[in-house]
Every structure is written in structure tokens, then in C-alpha cells.
Amino acid sequence: MRIIQISDTHLSPGKQQFAGNWPPLAAWIAEQRPDLVIHTGDVTVDGADIDEDLRHAAALMRSLGVRFRGVPGNHDVGDPGHPRQSVTAERLARWRAHFGPDRWVEDVAGVRLIGLNAMLFGTGDAQEAVQAAWLDAVMDGADGRQIAWFLHRPLFINTPDEPDTGYWSVKPQPRAQLIELARRHSVALIASGHLHKAHEFRHDGRLYLWAPASAFLVGPGMNAPLMPGENRLGAVIYTIDGPRLEAEIAHVPGLVPYLLDDVVEEVYPRH
């Protein structure tokens, strides 16, 4: 069983700045002949506000001709506590209408894949509690399988006990609960997107994998904190054989390393 993880495609029919990276990505996926594609969010430039972005991106995903699942990113459904784009029931409903559930579980051989909506962490609302109860249940039901989590925002940047990193990782309180849950159930893999960097490391026996974006890189003008990882575009290939799960960050030929810094005022103008 072969699974491809892609992330941060930032697609939009209205803002085509990164659209040139979709055809080479789609061609590469076709060549890889995966059984499943997992998109870890920021599928769109601005699906949180523009329905057409979600519709367009979902149509492109369907055009791959491969079964896919997705979890939303901040640009798809909004961000907890964001002054103009918070996560609302309406935004979540729009995501589900185009991409299906924002959380899911799927057993593949000896591995249980779990997709999580990281945009609910720390909202404190009913949907967050519903997801947390669901997560407990699907973790308890893993029945000895290896467990792999897929979510947009990484749990942490450098260490699990680091303070709030703001935009870049999950807030300390929900993070601590998730790490405790992962520890209790020996989660094998926590795969994320969002940072537009490629990185993998082990911590407390778990593989943490930051999938590279396929749309653009984040340059020095974006005030990101100092963080590890490689500034490169690409995707991730997972091979599952029984209980064995192997991950490889892959080069995708033809991707152009656009820099967000060069076009940020057109793509994400400050209000």
C-alpha cells in the first residue's frame, strides 16, 4: 500500500500565483500510482472566505483519479482566535461540502490512519469537544494497530514544552493533551503541513514529519521564528506493509520554488 501526502497547495481560480505547481505535482502523483492521497491542508488560497477556491481545489483533487482524504488548514476554514477569519460552523460546513469530513479514520493493513482538524484545537467550542471525544474513541479502538496522525498544524516547532509559538504550532494547552494521548497509545507518526518546510525527526519514540508544501516557500520577509527543516517543496511517500510504515520525503520534478515574500501583498493582502 502506497500513500502520498501532499500539503499546502494554496490553489485558487482567482489567484493563480502558485497554480503552475499543480500540473507537475499531479503528473508526479499519477506516476507514483498511490492507493490514497492525503492532503494536509491549505488546499486553497482562501477557502475560508471564498467558496470558489474550495470548489476549484476539490475539482483538481478529484481530477487526480486517486482516492483522497483531506484535513483543513487555516486558509481553508479559518484559524482559532483570528480577528477576521475565525473557525465557524459555516466555514466547516463549506469544507465538508467540498472535501468531505474534516476528521476521519482509516485502517490500512496494520496501521490506523487518523486525520484531525487542527483548526479546532483551542477554540473551546462544542465541535472541539466532539472531535476530542471521537479521537479518544478511535484511539481506543485501534486494536493493536500502529497509529498515524495527519493534521495541518504541527504540535510544536522545537520541543513539546515550548511556549506559545503563535501562528506556527498548536497552542500549549491542547498540545499537551494531544502529546499525552499520543504517548499513551504509542502513536508512531505525527505528520503535518503548514510550515512549508521539509523535516523529520524522532521524539519520545515517535516520528514527526513536516511535509513540504507544493505551492511556495516562506522567505525571511515573513517573520517566521527560527526553526529546523529544509526550505524545499515536495511531497511524502508512505509505504505500508503489514504493521510496517515507512516515510520518505520526495522530490517532485518541475515544482518552481515561488517565494511568498514576492507576492504576499497580492495573495494575502494585509487588511
User: What strands lie across the sheet with 189-192, from one edge to the other?
Assistant: 104-108, 111-115, 146-150, 189-192, 206-210, 199-203
Asked whether the beta carbons of 10 and 215 are under 8 A apart, the reply is yes
Between 147 and 186, how does the x/- string for binding to Fe ion read (CB under 5 A)? Answer: ----------------------------------------
Residue of 98, 175, 194, 206 interacting with Fe ion (CB under 5 A): 194
Considering only residues 5, 12, 21, 74, which one is a binding residue for Fe ion as defined by CB under 5 A? 74
Toward Fe ion, which CB reaches closer, 74 or 117? 74
Beta carbon of residue 35, minimum distance to Fe ion (angstroms, whole number): 25
Q: Are 74 and 152 in contact, with CB atoms under 8 Å apart? A: yes
Work out which of 3, 4, 8, 118 binds Fe ion, going by CB under 5 A.
Answer: 8
Closer of 7 and 146 to Fe ion (Cβ): 7
Closest distance of CB 32 from Fe ion, Å: 22
**With respect to Fe ion, which residue has the nearer C-beta, 117 or 146?**
117
Grid cell, residue 144, equals 493493536
Q: Residues binding Fe ion: what is the number (CB under 5 A)?
A: 5
Query: Which residue from 21, 37, 42, 122 is in contact with Fe ion, where contact means CB under 5 A?
Result: 42
Query: For Fe ion, which residue has the nearest CB?
Result: 42
Q: Give the Cα separation of 53 and 59 in Å (integer).
A: 10
The answer for residues whose C-beta is within 8 angstroms of residue 132's C-beta and 6 or more apart is 177
* Side chain identity at residue 70, one-letter code: G
Report the DSSP pairing between strands 206-210 and 189-192: parallel
DSSP structure class, residue 11: B
Which of 38-46, 108-116, 203-211, 240-248 is the region at the interface with Fe ion (rule: CB under 5 A)? 38-46
Asked if 73 is part of the footprint of Fe ion (rule: CB under 5 A), the reply reads yes
User: At CA 81, angle to CA 100 and CA 200, rounded to 5?
Assistant: 65
Closest CB to Fe ion among residues 74, 214 = 74
Q: With CA atoms as reference, report the closest residue to 214 among 39, 15, 13.
A: 39
**Nearest residue (CB) to Fe ion, 94 versus 196:** 196
Q: Using CB under 5 A as the criterion, which residues of the chain lie in contact with Fe ion when the complex forms?
A: 8, 42, 73-74, 194
